[in-house]
Structure 1
Amino acid sequence: MLSSGKQLTASFHAELYKLIPKDHLLCKINEAVNLGFIHELVKDSYCVYYGRPANEPELLFRLVFLQILYNLSDERIIQETQVNLAYKWFVGLNPEDTLPDSSQLSRFRNHRLGASQVDDVLKRVVQQCIDQGLIKTKTIIMDATHTLAASQKQRPLDVLRDAAKRLFRTVIKRHPKLQKKLPAVPVVKSDQENAEQVMLHYLAELGEKVEAMVPDHEGALSEKLRIAKQIVEDERLLSKKGIISAIDPDARFGWKSHTKSFFGYKEHLAMTEEEIITAVVVTTGSADDGKQFPKLLAQSKENGMEITEVIADTAYSGKDNLAEMKEKQIQPVVPLNPIVHSGGLKQEGFEYNKDANFVICPAGEHSIRKAVQGSKQSGESRSLVFYFNVEKCKACPLREGCYKPESKSKTYSIRIVAEHFKEQIEFELSDTFKKRIKRRPIIEHKNAEMKRFHGMNAAKYRGLFRMRIQAYLTAFVVNVKRMVKLKTQKQPAL
């Protein structure tokens, strides 16, 4: 049951709060941002008339805020707040008051904030920044960063085996009488030829039996059943391309570079030049950065931003993204993929003579004809293909590595730049582009801040749902920190 608001009583011990310095960070945060919105945000997740009186949502939210601000665990933030005057003052308790149990923080994050659309938390702080005149530019900068999963990657057989064991144990813990009715876990050796298929069949059978025997399942059992079903239905599991953790089935492999990979999630961010995060999209580690552009743009606008310019890296330079920006009259300060400029990999020694409109090979022979490949209607991915005399290629002393024996043709292609790229190519050469693109690295500093000081280097919880909560709350915290700094810079010097 949710009470109507704070019910604090005066305390003689509150005099101790006068010892907190007025320039303490938490004093500045309390003055900079209004956290009272949280009561309205989560009220629908509480029962109005029944149940025990719930702890004040703003109290729990402030505890979660402190937890992320100082990168502490649920248990540690309760311990620290109990003995830290500044922490206890910030959450709104008297010095002698007791704190809620640490388990309530998890319940509040998942069942109150999570159930109430945690993205609204970010929306409220962005709106407060706009209302206070802290955001003046109409530019957003986009980038993605990664977070390591809270579990280890596994082989397909281990994924199936662990998922089956976890489901089996949960069932017999909740319903001991069902143990003899459930199919026994098969003994499968790792070197067995059909080991993975046997475990896959068993997990599917076990899941069906449990659902039939316990149709009203809930809580931990529902969660284990959901994971089992997700694993069984993953067509890429056995090829080692899909789920690779029975504990965290949402986590995936991603790539930081051509040689470095990670296992976990991605956070795609949009941020103003004032370093206020306006949008967050959380995906698995394998997601494409550029495909999150429409969501980041839409979310930033929903959060109150007026956008006339987007600064981002090459990953966001796809034709669909450029087309959307052009339609909405947004200037894309986004470098195109080098392949657009160069037309892809060029075979060494071949030269295109623009005036004669033919290609000369390393042996000095020129092409005999040309053709255009690609869709005329779309005008995309079209190429000029130049053909050489195959008979000459067969007898050419430089044919090794150039002409494949018995090939019916020898060609050389030059990509035709699509119309939607021409304008952007021209803009990339301008001084304006060169100046504005230098602003992009500031979002990398924001990513580093979230990882280094606020725990975004590794997931604290498991699953995409909880990862979204962690990302949005962390973005909220760093935005509030930035609000304090911007308000300090805005105040005239005394």
Structure 2
Amino acid sequence: MLLNHNQSSLSFHSELYSFVPADHILRRVHEVVDFSFINDLVKDSYCVYYGRPANEPELLFRLLFLQFLYNLSDERVIEDSQYNLAYKWFLGLNPEDSLPDSSQLSRFRVHRLGANRVERVLEHIVKQCVENGLIQSQALIIDSTHTLANAAKDKPLDVLKKAANRLLKGLKKQYSNLYKMIPTYPKLEGTDKEKAIQLLQYLAELKDLLEEKLPDAEGSLLDKINIVKQIIEDERLLSHKGIASAVDPDARFGRKSKSRTFYGYKNHIAMTEEEIITAIHVTPGNEDDGKQLQTLVNKSTELQISIDEVLADTAYSRKDNLTFLQSEEIKASIPLSPAVYGTREEDKFQYDKENDEVICPAGHMSIRKAKTGRTGTANNPCLTFYFDTDICKQCPLREGCYNNTKEKTYSISIKSEEHKQQMAYLESDEYLQRKGVRSIIEHKNAELKNAHRMTRAKYRGQFGMRIQAFLTAFVVNVKRMIKLKDAFSQ
């Protein structure tokens, strides 16, 4: 049941708020941002007539705002708000008023907002930016930044052991009688892979039994059962390419460069030239950046933001992205991957256009060619040129070029019409003037990580990562709103 809550000024002690400076950031936030949207956003998750009186959603959401603005834990934000006059004024409480228990913050964040409503929180702040005329550009900058998982990466056998132990402890605690009836933990023998297979079979048997005996399981036990189910169904687990944590099964290995890897998540971000984040899409760390462009553009346009240009790096230069942007009449200020031009690093092969042949570094000509690759996909088809392997076997330059394989080939990408048009645009003066704009999103990524601790996940699972990403983006947008408001008022 919801209670009405308004900032009180009836208390004698409220005179203490005169000590909060007029230019304090929280006074500016209260002046610029309308937080009342949160009440309508979460009202369906409350019972109107029954239940214990609940703290007003706006109060709890303002506490979350303080938490993400100042990088505080649930316990610390409640503790600090109890004696910090600026915090308490921002919350709309009298100095002597008490605050809700820190456990209410977690319940509000997970059960009232959740991973779905928290996305709408970002939508509301973007709409307020639009309504205040703060977004005037029509360009969208897209990039991704990674966040390390709040869990260590384990080997498949260790993942299975930890998942089994967590499930068995939870079962023993909540259903001691059923715990006595379950199959005994197997004695693992053989190599690590053989032990993992044995434990995988045990977990599958245990999972089937619990789903039969506990169809209405809920809470932490249900979470543990679902994690075990997710692990069992992961076909890549035993090959060290799938789930690598029993406490965060959604995290994956990703690559930032040829030499840099990470274990966690990717936050794909769309931002205007005014540095207002309009959309975020959270994925496991192994997801391809280029596949997220259309999702980010669509989410941004749904907020009534006009887009006539997208700026991004080569990871987004897929053919299907260029086709999509052309169909939407959006300019693609996106450099093409070197592979589109048919070049590779340290490439000494040469294509002879007149004879339609390829010349190898030793000066030998290709003997035939064939068109390979499928049309109608995101990748361009290729012309594959074949060389005489009898010559390759005797070639003094064969080391690093020919490894006694059945065939020696060299492929050249067949450029699509989309890529040809993009190549022409990339040579224009317009692109040369615009390409430097993309770099401003790097400052935003740095702010998210350095000022608001997006380097590492606060919570576990993709669900928790979404909550962290959207609430952090909300706070960062609010800070930017204040700067833009001040700039426009001058």
TM-score where L is the length of structure 1: 0.93
- Tell me, yes or no, if the aligned pair for 1:157 and 1:190 is still in contact at 8 Å: no
Letter in 1 for 2:169: R
Report the alpha carbon displacement of residue 176 of structure 1 after superposing the two structures with TM: 2.1
- Tell me, yes or no, if the aligned pair for 1:126 and 1:304 is still in contact at 8 Å: no
- Tell me, yes or no, if the aligned pair for 1:45 and 1:115 is still in contact at 8 Å: no
In structure 1, C-alpha distance between the alignment counterparts of 2:378 and 2:81, rounded to whole Å: 63
In structure 2, C-alpha distance between the alignment counterparts of 1:220 and 1:365, rounded to whole Å: 66
Partner of 2:485: 487
Structure 2 unaligned segments of length 5 or more: list them.
none
CA change 1:246–1:374 in 2 (3 A) is closer
- The SS at the match of 1:244 is coil
CA RMSD, aligned part only? Answer: 2.4
Partner of 1:222: 222
In structure 2, C-alpha distance between the alignment counterparts of 1:406 and 1:112, rounded to whole Å: 60
Partner of 1:444: 442
CA change 1:229–1:395 in 2 (3 A) is closer
Report the alpha carbon displacement of residue 406 of structure 1 after superposing the two structures with TM: 8.7
Letter in 2 for 1:229: K
Letter in 1 for 2:16: L
Identity %: 56
The number of equivalent residue pairs is: 490
Partner of 1:60: 60
Partner of 1:324: 324
Q: Deviations over 1:165-221 (max 9, x none)?
A: 111111121122223112222343685662111111111222222222222211111
- Tell me, yes or no, if the aligned pair for 2:279 and 2:300 is still in contact at 8 Å: yes
CA change 1:36–1:403 in 2 (3 A) is closer
CA change 1:332–1:481 in 2 (3 A) is same
In structure 2, C-alpha distance between the alignment counterparts of 1:435 and 1:62, rounded to whole Å: 42
Letter in 2 for 1:435: Q
Partner of 1:429: 427
Q: Deviations over 1:211-255 (max 9, x none)?
A: 222222111111111111111111111111111110111111111
CA change 1:362–1:314 in 2 (3 A) is closer
Report the alpha carbon displacement of residue 430 of structure 1 after superposing the two structures with TM: 1.6
Deviates more, 1:428-437 or 1:16-25: 428-437
CA change 1:384–1:286 in 2 (3 A) is closer
Report the alpha carbon displacement of residue 363 of structure 1 after superposing the two structures with TM: 5.2
- Tell me, yes or no, if the aligned pair for 1:68 and 1:455 is still in contact at 8 Å: no
Partner of 2:353: 354
Letter in 1 for 2:380: S
Partner of 1:20: 20
- The SS at the match of 1:97 is coil
Partner of 1:275: 275
In structure 1, C-alpha distance between the alignment counterparts of 2:209 and 2:377, rounded to whole Å: 52
Residue correspondence of structure 1 range 468-479 to structure 2 within 5 A: 468-479=466-477
CA change 1:402–1:206 in 2 (3 A) is closer
CA change 1:398–1:109 in 2 (3 A) is closer
Q: Deviations over 1:363-395 (max 9, x none)?
A: 555456555445678896344445566776677
CA change 1:363–1:212 in 2 (3 A) is closer
- Tell me, yes or no, if the aligned pair for 2:319 and 2:378 is still in contact at 8 Å: no
In structure 1, C-alpha distance between the alignment counterparts of 2:450 and 2:279, rounded to whole Å: 20
- The SS at the match of 1:263 is strand
CA change 1:366–1:117 in 2 (3 A) is same
In structure 2, C-alpha distance between the alignment counterparts of 1:151 and 1:380, rounded to whole Å: 35
CA change 1:83–1:328 in 2 (3 A) is same
- Tell me, yes or no, if the aligned pair for 2:319 and 2:380 is still in contact at 8 Å: no
- The SS at the match of 2:65 is helix
- The SS at the match of 1:194 is helix
Q: Deviations over 1:106-150 (max 9, x none)?
A: 100000111662111011100100110100001110000011111
Partner of 1:418: 416
Structure 1 unaligned segments of length 5 or more: list them.
none
Letter in 1 for 2:417: E
CA change 1:49–1:206 in 2 (3 A) is same
Partner of 1:80: 80
Residue correspondence of structure 1 range 63-142 to structure 2 within 5 A: 63-114=63-114, 117-142=117-142
Deviates more, 1:434-443 or 1:265-274: 434-443
Residue correspondence of structure 1 range 121-270 to structure 2 within 5 A: 121-188=121-188, 191=191, 194-270=194-270
Partner of 2:334: 334
Letter in 1 for 2:319: K
In structure 2, C-alpha distance between the alignment counterparts of 1:251 and 1:404, rounded to whole Å: 37
- Tell me, yes or no, if the aligned pair for 2:121 and 2:470 is still in contact at 8 Å: yes
